[in-house]
């Protein structure tokens, strides 16, 4: 029996387009577990894959979608049985391997994580790669000494998927969150997630630039990069740490050694793609215990496969608030 998938293809002139097609099982790539996909997510990388940006997709036709959740349909691996609910993020699925924008996927069992208790497959994609990355950042910051109650933690790109979930998680864990965004019109939604203050990105960048600025932040989670990351490093308190996990504002980093050698600031890189199994399981467990799905409901938008090409351009333009989740079976 065939299944629906969003097929992304490139023509001889290099134009990339996507369309919903019905495929047969034998079209799926190699793998030892087949999953009936119930929900997938829309992430910045997905926007690149659907538009041909960034060189992420090497072979066409392709099925994008870097994360998904669903139920095991077939398994040749003893860790997963038919009917088990699972989550997949990372491992370049949706980039070099067919991903979640289909009703079915076939993947390597090592890439899967059992759905944690307390989360539905829909909940898992509300969290998705964005939430997993945010929790990995919090875990690393706490490992570097960050503790609740001492001072403010800055979250940049706070209206986006990673930033909004990081804001919600930090608040639930007892941190005082300052949410920085280029879209201050979303301030009320961020306050509802627990942000103690809202900072306009333009105002933040307009402050006088010095090699070291007034120490303000106990720590920070940065999903923007570029000029924003360069400036916030100058404002971190002695012994503080910054988790860097995105580059929506650019890949260049202009800074000096002064924050590092005079204040002992630590810059931590966060990668969610190749994280080992045990780290993923622990992060998902903590998410299930911490994240308030109901409180985040107003920042969730649902769509079917047909709507993804337009949504891809929106997320690349910074026009998506919160999380977009995809229901492949919706037509």
Where residue 143 sits, what CATH number does that domain have? 3.40.50.720
Axis crossing angle, helix 121-143 with helix 277-290, rounded to the nearest 10:
110
208 pLDDT higher than 90: no
pLDDT in tens, 83-121: 999 999 999 999 999 999 999 999 999 999 999 999 999
Q: Are residues 139 and 73 in the same domain?
A: no
Structure-block tokens of residue 309: 């090409």
- Residues of the chain with pLDDT > 70, as a percent, come to 100
330 pLDDT higher than 90: no
The answer to whether residue 282 is domain-embedded is no
331 pLDDT higher than 80: no
Please state, in angstroms and rounded to a whole number, the distance separating the CA atoms of residues 246 and 229. 10
The answer to whether residue 22 is domain-embedded is yes
The answer to whether residue 92 is domain-embedded is yes
The answer to whether residue 287 is domain-embedded is no
> In the structure, what pLDDT confidence band is assigned to residue 172 with cuts at 50, 70 and 90?
very high
Structure-block tokens of residue 49: 């894959």
Please state, in angstroms and rounded to a whole number, the distance separating the CA atoms of residues 160 and 223. 9
- Whether the CB-CB separation of 92 and 65 falls below 8 Å is answered with no
1 pLDDT higher than 80: no
Q: Is the peptide bond before 61 cis (omega within 30 degrees of 0)?
A: yes
Structure-block tokens of residue 28: 């799926």
Q: Is the dihedral of CA 323, 132, 157, 68 positive or negative?
A: negative
Q: Are residues 90 and 137 in the same domain?
A: no
Q: Are residues 12 and 75 in the same domain?
A: yes
Please state, in angstroms and rounded to a whole number, the distance separating the CA atoms of residues 329 and 319. 25
- Whether the CB-CB separation of 21 and 4 falls below 8 Å is answered with yes
Q: 252: alpha, beta or left, given left = phi > 0 and alpha = psi -120 to 50?
A: beta
> In the structure, what pLDDT confidence band is assigned to residue 6 with cuts at 50, 70 and 90?
very high
pLDDT, position 207: 85
176 pLDDT higher than 90: yes
pLDDT, position 129: 97
pLDDT, position 125: 98
Q: Are residues 135 and 72 in the same domain?
A: no
> In the structure, what pLDDT confidence band is assigned to residue 30 with cuts at 50, 70 and 90?
very high
pLDDT in tens, 55-85: 999 999 999 999 999 999 999 999 999 999 9
pLDDT in tens, 258-288: 999 999 999 999 999 999 999 999 999 999 9
Number of domains making up the chain: 2
pLDDT, position 204: 95
Structure-block tokens of residue 42: 């829309």
Overall average pLDDT of the 283-302 stretch: 96
Q: Are residues 59 and 174 in the same domain?
A: no
- Whether the CB-CB separation of 279 and 258 falls below 8 Å is answered with no
CATH of the domain at 93: 3.90.180.10
pLDDT, position 184: 84
- Whether the CB-CB separation of 176 and 196 falls below 8 Å is answered with yes
> In the structure, what pLDDT confidence band is assigned to residue 165 with cuts at 50, 70 and 90?
very high
Residue 35: domain span: 3-119+294-326
Identify which of 84, 124, 93, 100 has the alpha carbon closest to the alpha carbon of residue 40.
Answer: 100
The answer to whether residue 277 is domain-embedded is no
pLDDT, position 149: 87
Structure-block tokens of residue 227: 């000029």
pLDDT, position 213: 96
Overall average pLDDT of the 298-316 stretch: 97
pLDDT, position 301: 97
Q: Are residues 101 and 183 in the same domain?
A: no
pTM of the predicted structure, to 2 decimals: 0.94
pLDDT-wise least confident of 141-145, 166-170, 197-201, 206-210: 206-210
The three-state secondary structure class of 295 is: helix
DSSP lists the bridge partners of residue 221 as: 155, 243
At a CB cut-off of 8 Å and minimum separation 6, what does 126 contact? 293, 296, 300, 323, 325
- Residues of the chain with pLDDT > 90, as a percent, come to 94
* Greatest distance between any 2 Cα atoms in the chain: 64
Which residue matches tokens 């979250």?
Answer: 155
Structure-block tokens of residue 262: 């005079």
Q: Are residues 112 and 139 in the same domain?
A: no
Q: Are residues 115 and 132 in the same domain?
A: no
Q: Are residues 32 and 147 in the same domain?
A: no
- Whether the CB-CB separation of 218 and 237 falls below 8 Å is answered with yes
pLDDT, position 209: 84
């Amino acid at each position: 029996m065939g299944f629906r998938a969003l097929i992304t293809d490139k023509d001889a002139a290099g134009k990339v387009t996507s369309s919903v097609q019905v495929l047969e099982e034998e079209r799926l790539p190699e793998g030892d577990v087949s999953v009936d996909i119930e929900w997938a997510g829309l992430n910045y990388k997905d926007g690149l894959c659907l538009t041909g940006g960034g060189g992420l997709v090497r072979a066409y036709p392709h099925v994008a979608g870097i994360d998904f959740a669903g139920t095991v349909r077939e398994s040749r691996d003893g860790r997963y049985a038919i009917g088990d609910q699972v989550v997949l993020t990372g491992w370049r699925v949706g980039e070099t391997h067919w991903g979640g924008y289909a009703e079915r996927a076939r993947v390597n069992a090592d890439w899967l994580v059992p759905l944690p208790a307390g989360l539905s497959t829909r909940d898992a994609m509300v969290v998705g790669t964005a939430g997993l990355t945010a929790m990995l950042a919090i875990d690393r910051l706490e490992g570097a000494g960050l503790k609740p109650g001492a001072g403010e933690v800055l979250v940049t790109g706070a209206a986006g998927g990673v930033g909004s979930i990081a804001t919600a998680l930090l608040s639930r864990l007892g941190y005082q969150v300052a949410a920085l965004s280029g879209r201050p019109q979303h301030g009320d939604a961020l306050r509802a997630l627990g942000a103690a203050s809202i900072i306009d990105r333009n105002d933040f960048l307009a402050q006088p630039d010095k090699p070291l600025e007034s120490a303000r932040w106990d720590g920070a989670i940065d999903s923007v990069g570029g000029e924003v990351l360069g400036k916030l490093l100058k404002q971190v308190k002695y012994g503080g740490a910054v988790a860097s996990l995105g580059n929506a504002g650019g890949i260049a980093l202009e800074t000096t050694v002064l924050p590092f050698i005079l204040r002992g600031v630590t810059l931590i890189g966060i990668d969610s793609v190749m994280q080992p199994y045990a780290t993923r399981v622990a992060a998902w467990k903590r998410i299930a215990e911490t994240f308030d799905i109901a409180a985040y409901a107003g920042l969730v938008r649902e769509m079917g496969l047909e709507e993804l090409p337009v949504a891809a351009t929106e997320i690349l333009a910074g026009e998506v608030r919160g999380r977009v989740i995809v229901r492949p079976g919706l037509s």
